[in-house]
Structure 1
Amino acid sequence: MDRAGMLAEELGAELSLLHVVSPTASERVLEQSLQIAMNRMRSRARPPLWRHGSEPRIIVRTGNPARLICDTVTQEQSGLLVVGPHERRDVLEGLSGTIAEKVLAARKSPLLFVQTSADVSYRNVLFAVDLSAEAELAVRAAETLVLSRDARATAIHVCVPPLRGMVPSTTAALRATVARRQLTGAIHDLLTRASADCSRYDVVVEEGHPIPALLRAVETHRPQLLVMGTRAMGRMRRALLGSVANQLLKEVVDCDVLVVPRIAELASGRACRPPAPGALLRH
């Protein structure tokens, strides 16, 4: 909740706090639960507990959490969905239609998974990038929504190595050196197009398989925030393979994670733009 409030204050954005109450068979019990939830949310969103500018709008609803969150993101036209650590298990459980999958599939809003305390702005940020338009969108969205002006960032690209024995070792080493140099230049070009200040980025090209390489990078760089873009994927492909973003969300626990979905404008071929400021926090 504090991270959402801090970002809303920095952006000058409106903030809505959403709490979903599970349905019950008893209308009386449900009514009491809704009232208790509303009172708790109002108390938390007022001074002295609330320290982030204007008081947020409180929304308390009952029903299916995934459906309500997706509907509220659409109704509020939210530019960012913030999910706290208590909701992590709910977000990641299951293979068919988790909250994260549904919001990302709807291509409506980036998701910020908050797992650490919100004492300071993000100043050490790690971007997992490839050469896609989705990576450009992730850079733009992160700079618009969550990065402070003095933040430093590292952009890491992971390339899969050739199979051992396929080419002579000397030739393989030479090809790897040339490929690394070309990829580094291509990432610099992407950042020049996408970033308002590409000088803040260090570029790292690693050879290996994406998941373990990115986990090593998180351990090495110790970022406060990991940023990833993601493409739209069919449900069956997600269930069988899983995206890099989904797998990293399950593994990365020591920093916050921002996932920027492939939005409708990008899918239709129009210029990709970052989402409008605004935040919806699920509590």
Structure 2
Amino acid sequence: MTRLLCATDLLPKSENAVERAGMLAQRLGAELSLLHVVSPGASDRVLEESLQIAIDQLRARARPPQWGHGPVPSVMVRAGNPARLVCDAIEKERADLLILGPQQRRDVLGGISGTFVEKVLSARKCPLLLVQGNADASYRRIMFALDVSPEAALAVRAAESLVVTADTQATVVHACAPPLRGMVPSANADMAARAAEQEAAASIHELLRRESDDADRYEVHVEEGHPIPAILRAVEIHQPQLLVMGTRAVGRMRRALLGSVASQLLKEIAACDMLVVPRDALAASNVAQDQRVNASSA
């Protein structure tokens, strides 16, 4: 059985994430756990009071009438470092998907240490769904930002197992760097650019035929230019409810110095939800599934 984990700060901004988690759990027939992490207080008494308040709030949120998505989820309240405890919970619960609400934008001092989302992704435990929009219906318009890497293949498989439905309108955007100016005679530049776009589109179609259960559902668009502005333009034009991408999820120091497409888009996009699939996520999910099967048959 699929297992979902939703980490919430119990603030209004995270309500859509809790709702989306409930909707997904009900549609997938999945087990859902709600997690809240309390920061250590100035004293043991303050911490104990904060923990009890959080437990009462989370239990109330997970029961009718506040809960309206089928089976009641399990609830967990922990005290300590949020990123570490969320990663621990992913491993302990053998979660197949982590669901979060909107996060604070990175500040200057956070550039090296990384945001909470980046720290969780760096652990490469499971796919991350960042919920920023209303959770009032299943995702009908999904955009995939794909190259031809193994991470892109994982993103297609993860999305189809978790969020894609029969009604989904799926669009793929692929950024294609134009031929270097001066390297190609100007008279042939347009022809070279068209040839590069056709080759890129063919590669994406081949990836979809290999990885998707229904490759014909995807409409492929090749955009000229660097991936980040190309994807941002495509999001503005197509207005997806969900953007899906893979990421290598390299170490935080390297990403802080060099950046990555996924981490940059996490900062730039607030108009739609985002599903980010790190390199090892599906392998970890398969291991977790095997462990659950073995445990149930023991």
**Common fold: TM-score over 0.5:** yes
2:259 to 203, 222, 242: 242
Q: 1:105 to 1:157 in 2, by over 3 A?
A: same
1:202 match: 219
Within 1, Cα distance between the matches of 2:112 and 2:247?
17
Is 1:146 the counterpart of 2:163 in the alignment?
yes
* Aligned positions of 1:1-283 closer than 5 A: 1-85=18-102, 88-89=103-104, 93-263=110-280
For structure 2, the residue ranges without an aligned partner over 5 or more in a row are 1-17, 290-298
Question: Quick check: 1:231–1:261 contact (8 Å CA) kept in 2?
Answer: yes
Question: Quick check: 1:144–1:274 contact (8 Å CA) kept in 2?
Answer: no
Which secondary structure state, in structure 2, belongs to the residue aligned with residue 51 of structure 1? coil
Q: 1:2 to 1:265 in 2, by over 3 A?
A: closer
Question: Quick check: 1:80–1:275 contact (8 Å CA) kept in 2?
Answer: no
TM-score, normalised to structure 1, is 0.90
Question: Quick check: 1:125–1:223 contact (8 Å CA) kept in 2?
Answer: yes
Within 2, Cα distance between the matches of 1:132 and 1:139?
11
Within 2, Cα distance between the matches of 1:60 and 1:235?
27
Moved more, 137-146 or 162-171: 162-171
For structure 1, the residue ranges without an aligned partner over 5 or more in a row are 277-283
Within 1, Cα distance between the matches of 2:272 and 2:184?
39
Within 1, Cα distance between the matches of 2:221 and 2:52?
51
TM superposition shift of 1:29: 1.2
Q: 1:264 to 1:83 in 2, by over 3 A?
A: closer
Within 2, Cα distance between the matches of 1:101 and 1:145?
21
TM superposition shift of 1:27: 1.0
The number of equivalent residue pairs is 270
Moved more, 211-220 or 22-31: 22-31
CA RMSD in angstroms comes to: 2.0
The letter for the 1-side match of 2:76 is I
Superposed CA deviations along residues 122-171 of structure 1, whole A, max 9, x for unmatched, are 01000000011111110000010111121011111101223333322221
Which secondary structure state, in structure 1, belongs to the residue aligned with residue 270 of structure 2? coil
Within 1, Cα distance between the matches of 2:181 and 2:84?
47
Which secondary structure state, in structure 2, belongs to the residue aligned with residue 176 of structure 1? helix
Superposed CA deviations along residues 73-111 of structure 1, whole A, max 9, x for unmatched, are 1111100000012xx117885432433233222221000
TM superposition shift of 1:24: 1.0
Which secondary structure state, in structure 2, belongs to the residue aligned with residue 122 of structure 1? coil
TM superposition shift of 1:274: 10
TM-score, normalised to structure 2, is 0.86
TM superposition shift of 1:265: 6.9
Within 2, Cα distance between the matches of 1:275 and 1:173?
49
Moved more, 230-239 or 50-59: 230-239
Within 2, Cα distance between the matches of 1:139 and 1:275?
19
Q: 1:52 to 1:194 in 2, by over 3 A?
A: same
Which secondary structure state, in structure 2, belongs to the residue aligned with residue 117 of structure 1? coil
